[in-house]
Amino acid sequence: MKRMLLAFTVLLLSVMAVFAQGSAEGAADDGGLIRVGIINNDPNESGYRTANDADLKRVFNEENGYDASFYYSLRNDEQIAAAQLFVQDGVDYLLLSAAGTAGWDSVLQDAYDAGIYTILFDRTVDANPDLYVAEVVSDTNLQGQTAVDWLASQNLDEYNIIHIQGVMGSSAQIGRTDPLNAMVEANDNWNLVTQQTAEWNAETAQQITQAVIDSGTPFNVIYAENDDMARGAVAALDRANISHGVGGDVIVMGFDCNKWALEELLAGRWNYDGQANPFQADTIDGIIRDLENGIEPESKTIYLVEQGFDAATITQEDVDKYGI
Amino acid sequence: MSIDKTPSIGLQKASGLFRRQIFIPLAALIVLILFNLIADPSFFEISYGTNSAGNPVLSGYLITILDNASELAILAIGMTLVTAASGGQDISVGAAIAISGSVVLRVLCGDNPRPDEMQASILTAFLISCVVSMLFGAFNGTLVAYFNIQPMIATLILYTAGRSIAAWINNNRLPIISDPSFGYFGTFIPGIPIPTPIFIAIICMAIIALVLKFTTLGLYAQSVGINPNSAKLNGINPAFIKFITYVIMGLCVAVAGFIKVTRFSTINYSVVALDIEMDAILAVALGGNALSGGKFSMVSSILGAYVIQFLTTTLFKFNVSSSALPAYKAVVVIVLVVLSAPTVRETLKKAWNRLRAGSPARKEA
């Protein structure tokens, strides 16, 4: 029985290892190709991550002169171990989207000592900035500011806002909340009817919105920090027969630019969707090309261009190009 | 008791109620109702209107509570049986819901994540997801019943891997079904103003009531939970009983997953039914059931599920700030769980008896 249990445990562990997708493939050394080791979060995490991974794979392949190895994990320690492997393998570039900010100093130092360029993308780490050549990241605060500016440009007499937040403390939540809070603080005609976290969950967002509707408090703006939560809020509006979108009683705002969300915009059922740009590969590719020619990037932090889409001006082309 | 009409009959009845397991969730519900009644009686208003599709709907906090507690109530059924028989909890239900929901969408969508027409009937999709969920339940059940692994550890496997499996089933895409008839199950059937999940929950409760009344499942589960060896000596196969409760849990998961995906006609693997396993376990605990297995009260567990949703909706209504919300919930939960713990109930009962015996004695003195 004991042996059976042991065999079973081994089996389980191997199954779990497969699911954790822990495969850092060693790259073969063939001439001419630039060798990159890419450490990313699990593409299953979200639509954003799926699009991000697909974009990296589109650019970093043999056709474009790259010999790329991918490693995925949502766990920081596993990512660090994979980074160490890549350093030992002697890749030319290490591309990193860290699951957590801490603990990266020593491995980045190793990479630096070995003459490997490290480029951070999407997420930054707490390490000496000298250890990496560039970080290609989103400015979530700007995402929030762009959205709030757009909302202000609607010139409503009064803003009664249902603010549905993401997971508290996440960078997207903080960046998308702060500009709105500042605006509400500064203007008497901006009010928060409610400010609750739905933790990125559509159903919780629906319940929060439903609670406001049931209480009879008037509101005219839904500011949801991602598309799923905006969808949940809209479901509650539909249930109560409250018109929304272009020409409706309630302005609906979301973030992330999922394809289906942009289609809602195109149909005029939502008003605004802010982009969280997952397409970092071309920017990283540009940095690597420059470095190959001996040109260091001008600034260490490179923000991606991120726009907001307005239902009044969005086109089918935008949906196809920017939808994730 | 009814013949002996002594003045203390009211006290005796109260003491009987105290001893009853259903007392705690019932009391919690009454406290919540009273609190809302005093704070704002409009909490209980139900209004009749139409939704944007022009169909009649009832709305109000009570409807919201009944509607949104449906999945939890259904899960509480399975979790109660699992707890009773195996003396542990299934922590994989949230991930398993992601899987079952993903299966429904995969069957209906085929290879196209945005189909104009569904590729199979909704019933087929639901039945297939039931089979898949029960297989995953059987996997958990096998580990627990035949390999004697702690339930929490056995189900940790699916808890860890489930959401990735769910994403893999749909090739990592997020399917959306545009056919409105799919949404009827999670929202409203045209012409019927009561949300469909309420009906689904009632059907599940009726089925489990019949099963417990007309089969020996409940009795066997309890006896296995209390003492598997003596159950075995009495001709019950403890491993099989444990196994079957996990399969039933799988069925409950399939129904709950079906409601979840039909609410929005889509799925998000990483957040759908997130942490719902904790609420389901909490429902069982609030129902005063011993989490170490044995005797159980199904009605109390289900009532516990509604108490949790009542609390959530109440907190939303009073607009408690997001950062403070978990703290409020925690305080209420701690109080309820402590009160419903068998040892505390025993102490309370003793205190009550002493009080009852003490007050006339003092008068005599």
- Asked whether residue A304 is assigned to any structural domain, the reply reads no
Domain check: are A111 and A89 in the same one? yes
Q: Is B225:B293 a contact under the CB 8 Å cutoff?
A: yes
- Asked whether residue A19 is assigned to any structural domain, the reply reads no
Provide the shortest C-alpha distance from residue B157 to chain A (in Å).
8
Measured between beta carbons, the chain B residues lying within 8 angstroms of A231 are 264
Tell me the two tokens of residue A211. Answer: 């609670």
Q: Is B297:B110 a contact under the CB 8 Å cutoff?
A: no
Closest residue in B to A217 (Cα–Cα): B317
- Asked whether residue A285 is assigned to any structural domain, the reply reads yes
Tell me the two tokens of residue A193. Answer: 């009817």
Tell me the two tokens of residue B355. Answer: 């009080």
Domain check: are A165 and A235 in the same one? yes
* Residue-level pLDDT at A26: 41
Residue B169 corresponds to which amino acid? Answer: I
Phi first, then psi: give them for residue A71, nearest 5 degrees. -135, 135
Please give the residue that has the higher pLDDT: either A282 or A7: A282
H helices, E strands: number in chain A: 11, 12
Q: How far apart are CA B164 and CA A49, in angstroms?
A: 13
| Burial classification of residue A217, based on how many CB atoms lie within 10 Å of its CB (0-12 exposed, 13-18 middle, 19 or more buried) | middle
Measured between beta carbons, the chain B residues lying within 8 angstroms of A238 are 51-53
Q: Do A207 and B263 touch (CB under 8 A)?
A: no
pLDDT digits (tens, 9 = 90+) for A107-134: 999 999 999 999 999 888 888 999 999 9
Domain check: are A187 and A129 in the same one? no
Token pair 């992601």: residue? B98
Q: Is the pLDDT of residue A172 over 60?
A: yes
Domain check: are A30 and A98 in the same one? yes
Domain check: are A131 and A144 in the same one? no
Closest in B42, B260, B321 to A195, CB measured: B321
Measured between beta carbons, the chain B residues lying within 8 angstroms of A243 are 52
Contacts of A177 by beta carbon, 8 Å cutoff, 6+ apart: A144, A163, A165, A225
Measured between beta carbons, the chain B residues lying within 8 angstroms of A215 are 42, 317
- Asked whether residue A125 is assigned to any structural domain, the reply reads yes
What ipTM was estimated for this complex? 0.89
Q: Is the pLDDT of residue A29 over 60?
A: no
Mean of the pLDDT values across residues A54-76?
A: 91
Q: Which one of A18, A44, A73 would you mutate to disrupt binding with B, by most B Cβ within 10 Å of its Cβ? A: A44
Residue A87 corresponds to which amino acid? Answer: V
Specify the CATH number for the domain of residue A162: 3.40.50.2300
* Residue-level pLDDT at B19: 65
**What would the CATH number be for the domain defined by B22-43+54-356?**
1.10.3470
Q: How far apart are CA B77 and CA B301, in angstroms?
A: 7
* Residue-level pLDDT at A48: 85
pLDDT digits (tens, 9 = 90+) for A222-240: 999 999 999 999 999 999 9
Closest residue in A to B40 (Cα–Cα): A215
Nearest-CA neighbor of B47 among A13, A68, A215? A215
pLDDT digits (tens, 9 = 90+) for A68-103: 999 988 888 889 999 999 999 999 999 999 888 888
- Asked whether residue A260 is assigned to any structural domain, the reply reads yes
Type and span of the H or E element at A251: strand A251-255
How many C-beta atoms lie closer than 10 Å to residue A320's C-beta? 10
Domain check: are A191 and A261 in the same one? yes
Domain locations along chain B: 22-43+54-356
Q: Which one of A239, A260, A263, A320 would you mutate to disrupt binding with B, by most B Cβ within 10 Å of its Cβ? A: A239
Domain check: are A61 and A165 in the same one? no
Q: Is the pLDDT of residue A16 over 80?
A: no
* Residue-level pLDDT at B205: 98
Q: Is B305:B96 a contact under the CB 8 Å cutoff?
A: no
Token pair 């799923």: residue? A228
Q: How far apart are CA B198 and CA B215, in angstroms?
A: 25
Q: Is the pLDDT of residue A25 over 70?
A: no
pLDDT digits (tens, 9 = 90+) for B20-68: 788 888 989 999 999 999 999 999 999 999 999 899 999 999 999 999 9
Measured between beta carbons, the chain A residues lying within 8 angstroms of B53 are 238
Q: Is A58:A64 a contact under the CB 8 Å cutoff?
A: no
Domain check: are A128 and A152 in the same one? no
β-pairing, A308-310 with A66-72?
A: unpaired
- Total domains present in chain A: 2
Tell me the two tokens of residue B109. Answer: 């969508």
3-state secondary structure of B323: coil
Q: How far apart are CA A216 and CA B315, in angstroms?
A: 16
Q: How far apart are CA A117 and CA B268, in angstroms?
A: 36
Q: How far apart are CA B104 and CA B82, in angstroms?
A: 25
Q: Which residues of chain B are modeled with pLDDT < 70? A: 1-19, 359-365
Closest in A168, A206, A243 to B323, CB measured: A168
Domain check: are A66 and A52 in the same one? yes
Query: A53: domain range?
Result: 24-138+278-293
* Residue-level pLDDT at A9: 64
- Asked whether residue A232 is assigned to any structural domain, the reply reads yes
Domain check: are A191 and A69 in the same one? no
Domain check: are A186 and A255 in the same one? yes
* Residue-level pLDDT at A30: 52
Q: How far apart are CA B290 and CA B1, in angstroms?
A: 29
Q: Do A43 and B271 touch (CB under 8 A)?
A: no
pLDDT digits (tens, 9 = 90+) for B294-348: 999 999 999 999 999 999 999 999 988 877 877 888 888 888 778 877 788 788 8
Provide the shortest C-alpha distance from residue B228 to chain A (in Å).
19
Q: Do A44 and B312 touch (CB under 8 A)?
A: no
Measured between beta carbons, the chain A residues lying within 8 angstroms of B321 are 195-196
* Residue-level pLDDT at B3: 45
* Residue-level pLDDT at B365: 43
Q: Which residues of A50-189 form beta strands (DSSP E)? A: 66-72, 93-96, 117-122, 134-137, 159-165
Q: How far apart are CA A254 and CA A117, in angstroms?
A: 36
| Burial classification of residue A197, based on how many CB atoms lie within 10 Å of its CB (0-12 exposed, 13-18 middle, 19 or more buried) | buried
Nearest-CA neighbor of B201 among B68, B82, B103? B68
Q: How far apart are CA A140 and CA B193, in angstroms?
A: 42
Type and span of the H or E element at A309: strand A308-310
β-pairing, A308-310 with A272-274?
A: antiparallel
Domain check: are A234 and A248 in the same one? yes
Measured between beta carbons, the chain B residues lying within 8 angstroms of A46 are 268, 270
